[in-house]
Amino acid sequence: MTTLQLSNNAIIDQPRITAGKTLVANQCNFGKDNPEPKSVVSLMRDPDTIMTLPYLGCSFPTRLSFMHTLLRRLNRENWQLSQDQWVMDDQGYGHAVYHVRKDDTLLSLVAFTQPLPDELRSDRVIAQAWDAAFVLFEGNPTTEDIERLRHNAPKQEAGRFTKKELVLSRANKSVRFFADTVDRLAQGLQPDLEKVQTIGYFMRTTAVYGNGKFGIADRDNVLKIPLISGAFAAEMLLVYLIRGFTHDLVEHIAFRRSPETAVKLAPEIKRHIGIGNSTGLGMAPFLATHPILLHHWISARETALARVCAIESVTSIGWQRFIITTKQAQQHVNEWAVADEIQSKRIELLKLDIQRLLEWLDNTKNATATQPWKALMDFASNQKSDFSIESIELTAALLINHYPELVDDLTQRMQADVYAELDPRQSAASLAEDLKNHYRWALQRDYSQQEELSQFWYVSESKAEPRVGNRYEETGAELEMRMRFGEEAIMLNQALAEFLAEKPNASVGHFLLKSPLQRAAVLRLQTVAQFPYAEIRDNLVQQSMRPIDLLRCKLSFFGASKFDPKSDRWTRITLYQGAPLRTEIACSETCPDWNFPALNTENK
């Protein structure tokens, strides 16, 4: 069961950590998981660097992200998206049904809206009332289905659902922007562009529930529908349809208010209005508890970057096109404004570094160098350049997005089709060597220090969601989740050393006969040795650990942007900002690029 809570270890005085070394081709065995030539594997970045919390907490979306992959597939396969029912009163309360159809496959968004007093408005997942509730439904809902869902969907946890319901969500209005836009459209005006830039959505979803939650369809049922069988594709489809519904809802209320003067949203503005989301601790442990899946995600991204860096030369047209997209990203960053002090400082550093990046690109000598994109990443990562981590990761995302024909096939590698299996035949000595190679970060820590173990993860009994507590100030540490992987590595190292001193030629199986409590740690080590990007190489219970780093990494793979932290434990984000509209998906030969969206306000 997976809950998509679309709801840093940031060091303010040391914000510019360098990218470190790249992997040597034979340092990690990617094997069948990554059948790339050594010339590419040798350029992949070192897990000891990029799998740390500071790097994960600066991740950016790319064209490999699930939202981008989904829209390209909708476009490529000519899926038809349409509004089927619209039963709304003058204030926009009622229900609507949208269809996503191709051949014999039909999926539906069923949306419900209701009045919500201001005193009940909250983005917390534990809230009891919402402006809107949504269901992704398999097939065409009957009148009976709609009435059943009208009663149950707003209740979410307390509702009753069937296997026809694939994904659930709920949302609240961004009240001021929503109301202001309705007023302006009713008067024949377009939305306030400053609000479009700084807010960028009419509604915010919180939890987007899939995979059997509350009795909806299990993952096995979803896998039977090819369009949404990919990682989080069903959830991403629901969110995309919700975004279009919010556009329609605002226009509807405006026209009902003043039919004679009201206008529709201008297409270029409508594209820039995404869907907001609030995400908290509920989804944070996912990356740590799904190590093989995490490896597939990160490995695909790093393979894409390495493929680009391996390119020997670039045409002048390709170089100039990259400069244009970098300027687009610059405008995107200029529109990224948050109240959080840490992220605000990061954004300011990012603005300075993008300008230095453009200056480097303006140098014609760099354009004609051998492997110019590798040179660009080396420049961004070099300690002398003093780029922030945020800037390094932005550069990596820009390079990946620049070569769709080179990287898009990697989306096929982003699902985990294997499970971790313990190998008792491995020699214990070989296991000890793997431990030293893959857990150097853990073996260098002193877990007797209080700050190394000050936090603990647990599952809330009332909401069945992960939470974080302070080990030395709160009760419940005896119920903590298994997240102390660094300390486990220390204990395994000690047990292996004692065992090998007596039996240097014994197997892992013999070791586990003597130390059966080490089985889970051995299995994780064998997994990480096979999948080097599987482990977050940082202490997830240390005092300085910020869960928002985990949130941002996962959300970047969804395709989220404009991260707006509200604490170190939850953030607001924007989804599908700049994406093509529902009416545009099947109307163009290729899905347009919408990475790093920016609103062009000139002449408006």
pLDDT for 3 equals 38
Residue whose entry in the numeric block shows the structure tokens 């995979």: 211
**Final residue of a structural domain among 417, 448, 476:** 417
Whether the per-residue pLDDT at 445 is higher than 60: the answer is yes
What is the rounded average pLDDT of the residues 521-533?
Answer: 96
Same domain, 305 and 345: yes
State how far the alpha carbon of 372 is from the alpha carbons of 22, 161, 365, 531, in Å: 17, 55, 10, 29
Whether the per-residue pLDDT at 27 is higher than 50: the answer is no
Is 141 domain-assigned? Answer: no
236-255 pLDDT, tens digit each: 999 999 999 999 999 999 99
Please provide the distance, in angstroms rounded to a whole number, between the alpha carbons at the two ends of the chain. 47
What is the rounded average pLDDT of the residues 115-137?
Answer: 78
pLDDT for 9 equals 30
Same domain, 295 and 393: yes
Is 557 domain-assigned? Answer: no
Looking at per-residue pLDDT, the higher value among 308 and 279 belongs to 308
State pTM to two decimals: 0.91
Whether the per-residue pLDDT at 10 is higher than 80: the answer is no
Residue whose entry in the numeric block shows the structure tokens 């045409």: 315
Looking at per-residue pLDDT, the higher value among 127 and 90 belongs to 90
Whether the per-residue pLDDT at 544 is higher than 70: the answer is yes
The helix or strand, by DSSP H or E, that contains position 330, with its residue range, turns out to be helix 316-334
Whether the per-residue pLDDT at 507 is higher than 70: the answer is yes
Same domain, 407 and 295: yes
CA geometry: angle 55, 562, 110, nearest 5 deg:
115
What is the rounded average pLDDT of the residues 145-165?
Answer: 91
Same domain, 438 and 400: no
Query: Based on the structure, what is the number of domains in the chain?
Result: 2
Distance of CA 187 to the CA centre of its chain: 38
Whether the per-residue pLDDT at 7 is higher than 50: the answer is no
Rounded Cα–Cα distance for residues 451 and 146 (Å) = 53
Same domain, 412 and 457: no
State how far the alpha carbon of 511 is from the alpha carbons of 283, 322, 528, in Å: 35, 54, 19
Distance of CA 524 to the CA centre of its chain: 24
Same domain, 402 and 442: no
What is the rounded average pLDDT of the residues 104-117?
Answer: 94
Q: Which amino acid would we find at residue 38?
A: K
Rounded Cα–Cα distance for residues 556 and 330 (Å) = 18
State how far the alpha carbon of 92 is from the alpha carbons of 174, 250, 256, 275, in Å: 15, 8, 9, 18
Same domain, 349 and 299: yes
pLDDT for 28 equals 45
What is the rounded average pLDDT of the residues 349-370?
Answer: 96
Whether the per-residue pLDDT at 48 is higher than 90: the answer is yes
pLDDT for 126 equals 58
Burial of 491 by CB count in 10 Å (0-12 exposed, 13-18 middle, 19+ buried)? middle
Range of the domain at 473: 428-530
Whether the per-residue pLDDT at 104 is higher than 60: the answer is yes
- Judge whether 149 and 165 are in contact, CB under 8 Å: yes
Is 392 domain-assigned? Answer: yes
Same domain, 409 and 434: no
Q: Output Rg (C-alpha) for the chain, integer angstroms.
A: 25
Is 377 domain-assigned? Answer: yes
Is 385 domain-assigned? Answer: yes
pLDDT for 128 equals 67
Whether the per-residue pLDDT at 348 is higher than 80: the answer is yes
Is 396 domain-assigned? Answer: yes
Same domain, 435 and 493: yes
Same domain, 443 and 343: no
What is the rounded average pLDDT of the residues 378-402?
Answer: 96
What is the rounded average pLDDT of the residues 45-69?
Answer: 97
Is 587 domain-assigned? Answer: no
Same domain, 314 and 341: yes
**Final residue of a structural domain among 470, 502, 530:** 530
Is 169 domain-assigned? Answer: no
**Final residue of a structural domain among 383, 417, 451:** 417
Choose among 56, 49, 60, 18: nearest CA to 395.
60
Whether the per-residue pLDDT at 472 is higher than 80: the answer is yes
Same domain, 468 and 409: no
